[in-house]
A = this chain, B = another copy of it.
Amino acid sequence: MSLTSKPLNATMDEPKNIRLILEYDGTRYHGWQRQKTDITVQGVLEDSIRTMVGEPVVLIGSGRTDAGVHALNQVCNFITRSQIEPDSMRRGLNSLVPDDIFIKQEEYVPLDFHSRYSVRSKTYEYRIWNRKEANVFLRNYSWHIRGDLDIDIMKAGLSILIGRYDFSSFKSSGSTNKDPVRNILLAELHGPSEGILILLFEADGFLRHMVRNLTGSLVDLGKGKLSLEGFKEILLSRQRDAVGIKAPPQGLFLKDVRY
Protein backbone atom coordinates (compact mmCIF):
# COMPACT_ATOMS: atom_id res chain seq x y z
CA MET A 1 0.00 0.00 0.00
CA SER A 2 2.75 2.40 0.90
CA LEU A 3 4.45 1.65 -2.42
CA THR A 4 1.41 2.48 -4.52
CA SER A 5 0.55 5.57 -2.53
CA LYS A 6 3.52 7.51 -3.86
CA PRO A 7 2.59 7.71 -7.54
CA LEU A 8 -1.01 8.29 -6.52
CA ASN A 9 0.02 11.28 -4.44
CA ALA A 10 2.25 12.51 -7.21
CA THR A 11 -0.80 12.62 -9.50
CA MET A 12 -2.96 14.30 -6.88
CA ASP A 13 -0.30 16.92 -6.23
CA GLU A 14 0.10 18.08 -9.78
CA PRO A 15 0.04 21.87 -9.92
CA LYS A 16 -3.35 23.31 -10.81
CA ASN A 17 -4.31 26.75 -11.97
CA ILE A 18 -7.27 28.26 -10.11
CA ARG A 19 -9.15 31.34 -11.23
CA LEU A 20 -11.24 33.53 -8.93
CA ILE A 21 -13.82 36.18 -9.81
CA LEU A 22 -14.40 38.61 -6.99
CA GLU A 23 -16.19 41.71 -5.87
CA TYR A 24 -14.67 44.17 -3.43
CA ASP A 25 -15.40 47.46 -1.78
CA GLY A 26 -12.06 49.25 -2.14
CA THR A 27 -12.80 51.93 0.47
CA ARG A 28 -10.63 50.42 3.20
CA TYR A 29 -7.83 49.17 0.98
CA HIS A 30 -4.61 50.69 -0.27
CA GLY A 31 -5.45 49.28 -3.68
CA TRP A 32 -5.02 45.81 -5.12
CA GLN A 33 -1.28 45.30 -5.04
CA ARG A 34 0.37 43.75 -1.99
CA GLN A 35 2.39 46.20 0.09
CA LYS A 36 4.68 45.74 3.02
CA THR A 37 2.64 47.52 5.66
CA ASP A 38 -0.67 48.75 4.24
CA ILE A 39 -3.73 46.55 3.84
CA THR A 40 -4.40 45.57 0.21
CA VAL A 41 -6.87 43.25 -1.53
CA GLN A 42 -4.12 41.03 -2.93
CA GLY A 43 -2.45 40.82 0.47
CA VAL A 44 -5.65 39.83 2.27
CA LEU A 45 -6.52 37.23 -0.38
CA GLU A 46 -3.03 35.72 -0.55
CA ASP A 47 -2.97 35.36 3.23
CA SER A 48 -6.41 33.70 3.27
CA ILE A 49 -5.53 31.35 0.40
CA ARG A 50 -2.30 30.43 2.19
CA THR A 51 -4.36 29.53 5.26
CA MET A 52 -6.61 27.32 3.12
CA VAL A 53 -4.01 25.53 1.02
CA GLY A 54 -1.19 25.43 3.55
CA GLU A 55 1.43 26.95 1.27
CA PRO A 56 2.26 30.48 0.12
CA VAL A 57 0.71 31.45 -3.23
CA VAL A 58 1.24 34.27 -5.67
CA LEU A 59 -2.05 35.75 -6.80
CA ILE A 60 -1.99 37.26 -10.29
CA GLY A 61 -4.63 39.95 -10.81
CA SER A 62 -6.04 41.15 -14.15
CA GLY A 63 -4.51 44.48 -13.19
CA ARG A 64 -4.06 46.76 -10.21
CA THR A 65 -6.78 48.93 -8.83
CA ASP A 66 -5.81 52.06 -6.91
CA ALA A 67 -6.67 52.85 -3.30
CA GLY A 68 -10.41 53.43 -2.95
CA VAL A 69 -11.26 51.89 -6.34
CA HIS A 70 -13.83 49.08 -6.31
CA ALA A 71 -14.34 45.90 -8.31
CA LEU A 72 -17.53 44.16 -9.40
CA ASN A 73 -15.70 41.35 -11.20
CA GLN A 74 -11.95 41.40 -10.63
CA VAL A 75 -10.25 38.28 -12.01
CA CYS A 76 -7.17 36.66 -10.52
CA ASN A 77 -5.47 33.27 -10.56
CA PHE A 78 -2.87 31.25 -8.69
CA ILE A 79 -1.04 27.96 -9.05
CA THR A 80 -1.37 25.43 -6.24
CA ARG A 81 -0.85 21.74 -5.54
CA SER A 82 -3.75 21.80 -3.09
CA GLN A 83 -6.37 19.10 -3.54
CA ILE A 84 -9.20 21.22 -2.18
CA GLU A 85 -11.95 21.49 -4.77
CA PRO A 86 -12.48 25.08 -6.00
CA ASP A 87 -16.05 25.27 -4.78
CA SER A 88 -15.14 24.16 -1.25
CA MET A 89 -12.19 26.52 -1.29
CA ARG A 90 -14.46 29.38 -2.37
CA ARG A 91 -16.75 28.79 0.59
CA GLY A 92 -13.79 28.52 2.95
CA LEU A 93 -12.21 31.69 1.58
CA ASN A 94 -15.46 33.63 1.87
CA SER A 95 -15.56 32.74 5.56
CA LEU A 96 -11.93 33.86 6.00
CA VAL A 97 -11.88 37.17 4.11
CA PRO A 98 -13.42 40.37 5.54
CA ASP A 99 -16.98 41.13 4.45
CA ASP A 100 -15.88 43.82 1.99
CA ILE A 101 -14.45 41.10 -0.26
CA PHE A 102 -16.61 38.36 -1.79
CA ILE A 103 -15.44 35.56 -4.06
CA LYS A 104 -18.23 35.00 -6.59
CA GLN A 105 -16.68 32.20 -8.58
CA GLU A 106 -13.70 29.84 -8.32
CA GLU A 107 -12.72 27.21 -10.89
CA TYR A 108 -9.85 25.28 -12.48
CA VAL A 109 -8.46 26.81 -15.66
CA PRO A 110 -5.74 25.58 -18.04
CA LEU A 111 -2.22 26.00 -16.71
CA ASP A 112 -1.38 28.61 -19.34
CA PHE A 113 -4.19 30.97 -18.26
CA HIS A 114 -2.71 34.21 -16.89
CA SER A 115 -5.11 36.82 -15.45
CA ARG A 116 -3.10 39.74 -16.81
CA TYR A 117 -1.48 38.49 -20.03
CA SER A 118 -4.58 36.67 -21.27
CA VAL A 119 -6.88 39.73 -21.04
CA ARG A 120 -8.77 40.56 -24.24
CA SER A 121 -10.65 43.57 -22.88
CA LYS A 122 -11.55 45.27 -19.62
CA THR A 123 -14.59 47.36 -18.74
CA TYR A 124 -14.60 50.11 -16.15
CA GLU A 125 -17.58 52.04 -14.93
CA TYR A 126 -17.35 55.50 -13.36
CA ARG A 127 -20.25 56.67 -11.18
CA ILE A 128 -21.15 60.34 -10.72
CA TRP A 129 -23.65 61.62 -8.17
CA ASN A 130 -25.07 64.71 -9.90
CA ARG A 131 -27.37 66.48 -7.48
CA LYS A 132 -26.85 69.66 -5.52
CA GLU A 133 -27.20 67.84 -2.20
CA ALA A 134 -24.64 65.37 -0.92
CA ASN A 135 -25.60 61.69 -0.64
CA VAL A 136 -24.03 60.12 2.42
CA PHE A 137 -24.70 56.60 1.12
CA LEU A 138 -22.80 57.22 -2.12
CA ARG A 139 -19.91 59.17 -0.60
CA ASN A 140 -17.53 56.22 -1.02
CA TYR A 141 -19.04 55.04 -4.31
CA SER A 142 -19.32 58.10 -6.54
CA TRP A 143 -17.92 61.51 -7.45
CA HIS A 144 -20.23 64.28 -6.30
CA ILE A 145 -20.71 66.92 -9.03
CA ARG A 146 -23.07 69.61 -7.77
CA GLY A 147 -23.66 71.67 -10.90
CA ASP A 148 -25.56 70.90 -14.09
CA LEU A 149 -23.81 68.75 -16.68
CA ASP A 150 -24.48 68.93 -20.41
CA ILE A 151 -25.10 65.25 -21.10
CA ASP A 152 -25.15 65.65 -24.89
CA ILE A 153 -21.69 67.17 -25.09
CA MET A 154 -20.36 64.48 -22.75
CA LYS A 155 -21.80 61.82 -25.05
CA ALA A 156 -20.20 63.55 -28.02
CA GLY A 157 -16.88 63.52 -26.16
CA LEU A 158 -17.25 59.82 -25.41
CA SER A 159 -17.95 58.98 -29.05
CA ILE A 160 -14.70 60.71 -30.08
CA LEU A 161 -12.77 58.32 -27.84
CA ILE A 162 -13.87 55.13 -29.58
CA GLY A 163 -10.98 53.71 -31.60
CA ARG A 164 -7.22 53.28 -31.40
CA TYR A 165 -5.36 56.26 -29.95
CA ASP A 166 -2.13 57.15 -28.24
CA PHE A 167 -3.60 57.99 -24.81
CA SER A 168 -0.46 59.66 -23.41
CA SER A 169 -2.53 62.77 -22.56
CA PHE A 170 -4.61 60.76 -20.12
CA LYS A 171 -2.00 58.59 -18.47
CA SER A 172 -0.72 59.01 -14.94
CA SER A 173 2.23 61.39 -14.57
CA GLY A 174 4.30 58.55 -13.14
CA SER A 175 3.12 55.96 -15.66
CA THR A 176 5.74 53.53 -16.87
CA ASN A 177 3.74 51.95 -19.71
CA LYS A 178 5.98 51.85 -22.74
CA ASP A 179 3.23 51.60 -25.33
CA PRO A 180 0.57 54.28 -24.74
CA VAL A 181 -1.69 53.11 -27.58
CA ARG A 182 -5.00 51.58 -26.52
CA ASN A 183 -8.10 50.58 -28.43
CA ILE A 184 -11.33 51.84 -26.85
CA LEU A 185 -14.15 49.54 -27.93
CA LEU A 186 -16.99 51.17 -26.03
CA ALA A 187 -17.46 54.56 -24.35
CA GLU A 188 -20.99 55.27 -23.17
CA LEU A 189 -22.94 57.43 -20.76
CA HIS A 190 -25.97 55.97 -18.96
CA GLY A 191 -28.49 58.01 -17.03
CA PRO A 192 -29.01 60.28 -15.28
CA SER A 193 -31.14 57.90 -13.27
CA GLU A 194 -32.15 59.07 -9.79
CA GLY A 195 -29.21 61.47 -9.77
CA ILE A 196 -26.64 58.90 -10.92
CA LEU A 197 -24.65 59.13 -14.15
CA ILE A 198 -22.58 56.16 -15.27
CA LEU A 199 -19.67 56.37 -17.69
CA LEU A 200 -18.73 53.01 -19.24
CA PHE A 201 -15.39 52.33 -20.92
CA GLU A 202 -14.30 49.10 -22.54
CA ALA A 203 -10.81 48.80 -24.02
CA ASP A 204 -8.11 46.24 -24.77
CA GLY A 205 -6.32 47.81 -21.83
CA PHE A 206 -6.00 51.03 -19.88
CA LEU A 207 -3.02 53.16 -18.88
CA ARG A 208 -2.68 54.00 -15.22
CA HIS A 209 -5.29 56.63 -14.16
CA MET A 210 -6.59 56.72 -17.74
CA VAL A 211 -10.27 56.28 -16.83
CA ARG A 212 -10.07 58.84 -14.04
CA ASN A 213 -8.29 61.38 -16.26
CA LEU A 214 -10.76 60.79 -19.10
CA THR A 215 -13.67 61.18 -16.67
CA GLY A 216 -12.21 64.41 -15.30
CA SER A 217 -12.03 65.93 -18.79
CA LEU A 218 -15.49 64.63 -19.71
CA VAL A 219 -16.89 66.36 -16.61
CA ASP A 220 -15.07 69.55 -17.64
CA LEU A 221 -16.83 69.17 -21.00
CA GLY A 222 -20.18 68.73 -19.25
CA LYS A 223 -19.59 71.81 -17.10
CA GLY A 224 -18.72 73.92 -20.14
CA LYS A 225 -15.15 74.43 -18.91
CA LEU A 226 -13.82 72.61 -21.96
CA SER A 227 -15.08 72.60 -25.56
CA LEU A 228 -15.37 69.53 -27.75
CA GLU A 229 -12.55 70.99 -29.85
CA GLY A 230 -10.43 71.47 -26.73
CA PHE A 231 -11.13 67.89 -25.69
CA LYS A 232 -10.02 66.60 -29.11
CA GLU A 233 -6.87 68.73 -28.91
CA ILE A 234 -5.96 67.27 -25.52
CA LEU A 235 -6.40 63.73 -26.88
CA LEU A 236 -4.36 64.42 -30.02
CA SER A 237 -1.64 66.42 -28.23
CA ARG A 238 -0.39 63.25 -26.49
CA GLN A 239 0.92 65.60 -23.81
CA ARG A 240 0.29 64.57 -20.22
CA ASP A 241 0.33 68.25 -19.16
CA ALA A 242 -2.62 69.11 -21.38
CA VAL A 243 -5.17 67.23 -19.28
CA GLY A 244 -7.30 68.82 -16.55
CA ILE A 245 -8.72 67.38 -13.35
CA LYS A 246 -8.43 63.68 -12.46
CA ALA A 247 -11.65 62.15 -11.13
CA PRO A 248 -11.34 60.80 -7.57
CA PRO A 249 -10.89 57.02 -7.03
CA GLN A 250 -14.13 56.23 -5.18
CA GLY A 251 -16.35 56.57 -8.29
CA LEU A 252 -14.39 53.93 -10.21
CA PHE A 253 -15.44 50.28 -10.51
CA LEU A 254 -13.65 47.52 -12.43
CA LYS A 255 -16.74 45.99 -14.00
CA ASP A 256 -15.64 43.12 -16.24
CA VAL A 257 -12.59 41.43 -17.68
CA ARG A 258 -12.87 39.41 -20.89
CA TYR A 259 -10.51 36.63 -21.99
Binding site for B on A (CB under 8 A): 23-25, 70, 94, 99-102, 104, 133-137, 139, 141
Contact = CB atoms under 8 A, between A and B. Distances in A.
A70 to B, nearest CB: 7
Nearest to A71: B136
A99 B139 contact: yes
B25 A134 contact: no
Copies of this chain, complex-wide, total 2
Contact of A23 (B24, B94, B99, B135): B135
A100 B141 contact: no
Contacts of A23: 134-137
Nearest to A101: B136
A164 B51 CA distance: 55
Given A70-B137, A102-B133, 5 more contacts: A23-B135, A25-B136, A100-B136, A101-B136, A102-B134
A156 to B, nearest CB: 29
A86 to B, nearest CB: 16
Contact of A141 (B94, B102, B137): B137
A141 B141 CA distance: 13
Nearest to A100: B136
A94 B144 CA distance: 15
User: Which has the most chain B C-beta neighbours within 10 Å: A100, A104, A136, A141?
Assistant: A136
Contacts of A99: 134, 136, 139
Nearest to A22: B136
A256 to B, nearest CB: 16
A137 B70 CA distance: 9
A25 B134 CA distance: 12
B136 A102 contact: yes
Query: Which 7 residue pairs spanning A and B have beta carbons closest together?
Result: A102-B134, A25-B136, A102-B136, A100-B136, A23-B136, A99-B139, A104-B133
A136 B100 CA distance: 5
A179 B144 CA distance: 45
A142 to B, nearest CB: 11
Nearest to A23: B136
A135 to B, nearest CB: 7
